[in-house]
Amino acid sequence: MDYFNVDNGLLMAERVAVAEAAEAYGTPLYLYSRATIERHWQAFTDAMAGRDHLICYAVKANSNLAVLNLMARLGSGFDIVSGGELARVIAAGGDPAKVVFSGVGKTEAEMEQALKAGIHCFNLESEPELDRLQQVAARLGMVAPVSLRINPDIDANSHPYISTGLKQNKFGIPTSQALPVYRRAAAMTHIQVLGMDCHIGSQLTESRPFVEALERLLVLMDTLADEGIELEHLDLGGGLGVSYGQETPPLPTEYVQALLPTLGLRKLKLILEPGRAIMANAGILVTKVEYLKQGEDRDFAIVDAAMNDLLRPSLYNAWQEIVPVKASSAVARPYDVVGPVCETGDFLGKNRELAIAAGDYLAVRGAGAYGFTMSSNYNSRPRAAEVMVDGDRMHLIREREQPQQLWRGEHCLP
Ligand SMILES: Cc1ncc(COP(=O)(O)O)c(C=O)c1O
Ligand SMILES: N[C@@H](CCCC[NH3+])C(=O)O
């Protein structure tokens, strides 16, 4: 998937000046491109053309209302993992009938909320979850549409923290245990068995693990069909990776093409839950260099964004490209790009060759997914503003937090 390209200070497709945005809205600042988001979403739909399908954008990647609203206008479905995400989808004009609800720990309240909202499907991850949903649906006099998430025990070859399809992971029901759970589900009065799903991990850079997972799920589906349990849909989850620099993941169309031979002539509806592939390269994080500091061992570029704004480098040792917004006459040298947070793990990039001076703006690329959504107020830092670039216009889609918002809901003792 292509980048939201920053070159000579301009976001190339949009021809918007990044420095102007930074001056107008302050830094750190998340900047997203509407055109890129829409192009990436469309690439998934185009890849599925001619097949019964539903693209359920994974809300956790970027849940800003404006982003969700763009998805809703495109006709997207949504993959949610909490009642909060469901509330966001509805507030943004999303259609609950196109929502699938994943996650290992759905509470009773979340089940009730989702049932009343009329979501498309609960992606259940354990037998106790099935029992709880049956009880909640019975109490409400409703029937809950479900899919069982299968853990196919397949290595996604991704970072261990974001690999989800191995048997040592908490996710899904082991393939070997799935049949009796399906049988029980099919016999329950307030459960309607609709489908099967899996999600083997995030930032996968090859199709092979997806195809292997699909093969395992189809074997299970055939066994179920032999018993008279016919499923309407197969949900392969999200996980298609992006290029943060060196990676060469398949494009959505290549990914879908890789799945088709295994799917054969089956009439199944196919659901995909992409998050990162749509959003990561549709956004950048803009930050200002506060100080250049010479150390004995290395030099530091101390910037005004930190691990609370973009956690991926600290949490996964993730590499994201950092580029100066404008060319500078300074001499290029290697810097560790670090934030003001009081942790040695607070870095955005290490050993980056940069020609920069204090006051310059830097863009961290690939920041549209799992950037703002994983941000926090650690060190009592207000969360960054978010701006959507739409053609040659910029729209503030989330204001930078004000200090008094930092202690909202807190109370001193009487
Ligand atoms: C169930 C589920 N679906 C979809 C996604 C989205 O994944 P990605 O952003 O890698 O496409 C995730 C996160 O990895 C997930 O846990
Ligand atoms: N937060 C992760 C992805 C998590 C996927 C959620 N299942 C990342 O930034 O790479």
Q: Is the pLDDT of residue 203 over 70?
A: yes
Cα 198 to averaged position of ligand 1 atoms, centre (Å): 10
Say whether 118 counts as a known binding-site residue: no
Nearest-atom number in ligand 2 for the CA of 374 is 1
**Are 264 and 210 in a shared domain?**
yes
**Closest-lying ligand to the alpha carbon of 58?**
1
Last residue of one domain, picked from the residues 223, 242, 277:
277
Q: Tell me how far the alpha carbon of residue 227 lies from the centroid of ligand 2, in angstroms.
A: 37
Shared domain check, 211 and 333: no
On whether 110 is known to bind a ligand per the annotation, the reply is no
pLDDT classification of 379: cutoffs 50, 70, 90: very high
pLDDT of residue 10: 58
As beta bridge partners, residue 393 has 390
Q: Is residue 381 part of a domain?
A: yes
Averaged pLDDT, 214-233: 97
Distance 18 CA to ligand 1 centre (A): 30
Mean pLDDT along residues 251-262: 96
211: confidence class by pLDDT, cuts 50, 70, 90: very high
Share of the chain above pLDDT 90, in %: 89
Phi, psi of 385 (to 5 degrees): -80, 160
Cα 90 to chain center, whole Å? 18
Domain count, the chain: 2
Give me the mean pLDDT over the 310-328 stretch.
Answer: 95
The answer to whether the annotation marks 316 as part of a ligand binding site is yes
pLDDT of 243 reads 94
* Nearest ligand (C-alpha, residue 56): 1
Instruction: Please give the torsion angle defined by the CA atoms of residues 60, 3, 248 and 203, in that order, rounded to the nearest 10 degrees.
Output: -10
Ligand 2 pocket member 370 (CB < 6 A)? yes
Residue 412 lies in a domain: no
pLDDT of 8 > 60? The answer is no
175 and 118, same domain (yes or no): yes
> What distance in angstroms lies between residue 370's CA and the mean position of ligand 2's atoms?
6
The neighbouring-strand residues paired with 414 are: none
pLDDT of residue 335: 98
**What integer pLDDT is reported at residue 13 of this predicted model?**
57
pLDDT at 4 over 80: no
Give the number of the ligand closest to the Cα of residue 78: 1
Q: For position 253, which CATH number holds?
A: 3.20.20.10
Other residues' Cβ atoms within 10 Å of the Cβ of residue 59: 27
Q: Residue 326's pLDDT band (boundaries 50, 70, 90)?
A: confident
Mean pLDDT of 277-298: 96
Mean pLDDT of 127-140: 98
Phi, psi of 87 (to 5 degrees): -60, -40
Domain hosting residue 328, numbered range? 6-31+280-407
290 labelled ligand-binding: no
- Same domain, yes or no: 103 and 220: yes
pLDDT, mean of residues 67-75: 98
Domain for residue 414, yes or no? no
276 is in an annotated binding site: yes
List 56, 121, 198, 342, catalytic entry = 342
CA of residue 60 to ligand 1 center, whole Å: 8
- Give me the chain's average pLDDT, please: 95
Ligand 1 pocket, residue 274 CB under 6 Å? yes
Q: Is 250 annotated as belonging to a binding site?
A: no
Tell me: pLDDT of 85 over 90: yes
Do 219 and 320 lie in one domain? The reply is no
Whether 342 sits among the annotated catalytic residues: the reply is yes
Which pLDDT value is given to residue 6?
Answer: 61
Q: Is residue 220 located within the same domain as residue 354?
A: no
- Among 277, 299, 329, the domain boundary falls at 277
Residue 157: per-residue pLDDT: 84
Substitution candidate for ligand 1 out of 125, 251, 273 with most atoms within 8 A of CB: 273
Considering every ligand atom shown, identify the ligand nearest to the alpha carbon of residue 242 and give its number.
1
The answer to the question of residue 193 being in a domain is: yes
Distances (CA, A) of 265 to 174, 179, 195: 26, 24, 17
pLDDT digits 0-9 by tens, 14-33: 656 898 899 999 999 999 99
- Would you state the pLDDT for residue 265? 87
171 lines ligand 2 (CB under 6 A): no
Do 291 and 240 reside in the same domain of the chain?
no
Q: How far apart are CA 31 and CA 34, in angstroms?
A: 10
In-domain check, residue 216: yes
**Residue owning the nearest CA to atom 9 of ligand 2:** 370
For residues 311 and 214, state if they share a domain: no
The reply to whether 413 falls in a domain is no
Q: In this predicted model, what pLDDT tens digit does every residue of 151-169 receive, in sequence order?
A: 999 988 888 888 888 888 9
159, HSE (Cβ side, Cα atoms, 13 Å): 12
Q: What is the 3 state secondary structure string of 71-96?
A: HHHHCCEEEECCHHHHHHHHHCCCCH
- Please check whether residues 320 and 203 belong to one and the same domain: no
pLDDT at 168: 87
Q: What is the pLDDT of residue 9?
A: 57
Same domain, 242 and 190: yes
Beta strands at 283-294 and 29-33: parallel, antiparallel or unpaired: antiparallel
pLDDT for the residue numbered 156: 85
CATH number at residue 315: 2.40.37.10
Is 158 part of a structural domain of the chain? yes
203 lines ligand 2 (CB under 6 A): yes
Give the C-alpha separation, 359 to 348, whole Å: 17
Is the domain of 196 the same as that of 77? yes
CA-nearest residue, atom 4 of ligand 1: 238
In this prediction, residue 2 carries a pLDDT of 63
Chosen domain end from 248, 277, 306: 277
Position in ligand 2 atom list of the atom nearest CA 159? 10
Structure confidence at residue 406 (pLDDT): 97
pLDDT at 27: 98
79 CB under 6 A from ligand 1? yes
Going by C-alpha positions, the residue among 60, 54, 18, 12 that lies closest to residue 363 is: 18
Examine residue 185 and state whether it is found in any structural domain, yes or no.
yes
Say yes or no to pLDDT of 310 above 70.
Answer: yes
Answer yes or no: is the C-beta of 58 below 6 A from any ligand 1 atom. Answer: yes
Residue 196 shares a structural domain with residue 82: yes
- Given a cut of 80, whether residue 99 has pLDDT beyond it is yes
Q: Tell me the CA–centroid distance for residue 51 and ligand 1, in Å.
A: 22
* Torsional class of 239: left (φ above 0), alpha (ψ -120 to 50), beta (otherwise): left
The letter for the amino acid at 107 is: T
